[in-house]
């Protein structure tokens, strides 16, 4: 959907510069993009860019601040039904929403900016920690009820790292449109595997395995 710009000329110019910067920084990285290229893409004078933002570094930071969407609100809206598979699929959906909203910013962050923008890199890592904490809380409760087996800490780490890996691969190589179905499929398989492990530790047969043979004691 095309951006709807404000009627104020300077505010209009600022929005166009931010949009152009997001596209160029995410495609080429911070170091490779010049302010002249941004100004040309935005259809403004380079002097206007510096008048509004002062420097390329400040512009980069404002792009991140303007477009970054945090997952906290979406995570807080989840109301678990304590049905392992459907709940984990829903959690995976919030991860997909986060990366769909932020994939250009994440692309900016992985293009050699860690030294110059450690605070932005750390902010993105905070989102991973926030997501892991939400999954840990959920799996901890499910483990306490006997619905899953294994360490909730390890399971939550594995769940989040796998989803982040799937997203980063697509951000680097393309194919974001397939992230949603792939994440849902992964979450469903993960849930079945964890549930099967819980059954096995209770002495019950793992799903898909044969039960005790007739006459066995």
The tokens describing 156, both together, are 């939550």
pLDDT band at residue 109 using 50, 70 and 90 as cut-offs:
confident
pTM over 0.85: no
- pLDDT tens profile 26-39: 999 888 999 999 99
Q: How far is Cα 93 from Cα 86, in angstroms, rounded to an integer? A: 11
If DSSP codes are grouped into helix, strand and coil, which group holds residue 147? coil
Give all domains of the chain, ordered by start, each with its CATH number. Answer: 9-67 (1.10.10.60), 72-199 (1.10.357)
The tokens describing 50, both together, are 């510096």
Q: Mutual orientation of helices 84-109 and 152-173 as an angle, nearest 10°?
A: 50
Residue 44 pLDDT more than 60? Answer: yes
Report the b/e string of 207-217 with b at 16+ CB within 10 A.
eeeeeeeeeee
- pLDDT tens profile 147-186: 998 899 999 999 999 999 999 999 988 889 999 999 999 9
DSSP state of 111: T
Mean per-residue pLDDT over the chain, rounded: 86
Q: What H or E segment, with its residue span, contains residue 148?
A: none
């Amino acid at each position: 959907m095309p951006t709807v710009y404000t009627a104020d000329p300077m505010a209009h110019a600022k929005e166009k510069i931010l949009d152009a910067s997001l596209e160029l920084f995410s495609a080429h990285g911070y170091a490779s993009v010049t302010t002249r290229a941004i100004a040309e893409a935005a259809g403004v004078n380079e002097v206007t860019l510096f008048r509004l933002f002062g420097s390329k570094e400040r512009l980069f930071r404002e792009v991140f601040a303007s477009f970054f969407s945090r997952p906290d609100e979406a995570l807080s809206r989840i109301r678990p039904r304590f049905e392992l598979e459907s709940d984990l699929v829903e959690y995976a959906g919030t991860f997909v929403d986060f990366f769909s909203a932020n994939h250009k910013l994440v692309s900016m962050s992985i293009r050699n900016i860690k030294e110059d923008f450690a605070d932005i890199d750390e902010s993105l890592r905070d989102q991973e920690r926030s997501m892991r904490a939400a999954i840990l809380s959920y799996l901890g409760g499910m483990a306490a009820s006997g619905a899953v087996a294994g360490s909730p800490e390890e399971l939550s780490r594995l769940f989040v790292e796998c989803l982040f890996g799937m997203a980063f691969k697509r951000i680097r190589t393309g194919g974001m449109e397939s992230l949603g179905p792939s994440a849902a499929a992964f979450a469903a398989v993960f849930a079945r595997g964890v549930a099967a492990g819980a059954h096995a530790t209770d002495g019950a047969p793992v799903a898909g395995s044969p039960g005790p043979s007739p006459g066995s004691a």
